[in-house]
């Protein structure tokens, strides 16, 4: 499913035109990203939660040459499904 498909579903459910529903979808997604940039947790009850986690530095390997490389620590977003998602 794409953002355009999601906006179409919002448009059908609420009765907005597709342009306005795309604005709604974009503002929700940008709001979630802004909250995650502040390193806060986003929880949508029944759906799930998004959280920023710090991954440790580790050793890796280039598959073609088998030479070792160092992978520095980095941040990533994890999604933990809510109870309704687990029961699909």
- The confidence score (pLDDT) of residue 72 equals 96
- The confidence score (pLDDT) of residue 35 equals 93
Q: DSSP H helical segments within 1-88, as ranges?
A: 3-14, 18-37, 83-86
pLDDT, averaged per 10 consecutive residues of the chain (88 residues), comes to: 91 89 93 91 91 94 92 94 83
Give the residue among 54, 52, 18, 22 at the shortest CA–CA distance from 38.
Answer: 52
CB 51 within 8 A of CB 77: yes
Indicate the domain borders of the chain. 1-38, 41-88
- The confidence score (pLDDT) of residue 46 equals 85
Q: Using one digit for the tens of pLDDT, what is the confidence trace for 20-32?
A: 999 999 999 999 9
| CATH fold of the domain at 41-88 | HU Protein; Chain A (4.10.520)
> pTM (2 decimals)?
0.75
For 55, the token pair is 């991954």
Give the residue among 36, 38, 46, 26 at the shortest CA–CA distance from 77.
Answer: 36
């Amino acid at each position: 499913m794409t953002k355009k498909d999601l906006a179409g579903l919002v448009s059908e459910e609420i009765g907005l035109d597709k342009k306005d529903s795309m604005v709604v979808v974009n503002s929700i997604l940008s709001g979630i990203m802004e909250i995650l940039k502040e390193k806060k947790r986003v929880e949508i009850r029944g759906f799930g939660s998004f959280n920023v986690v710090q991954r440790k530095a580790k050793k890796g390997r280039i598959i073609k040459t088998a030479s070792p490389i160092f992978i520095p620590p980095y941040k990533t977003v994890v999604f933990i499904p809510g109870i309704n998602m687990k029961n699909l």
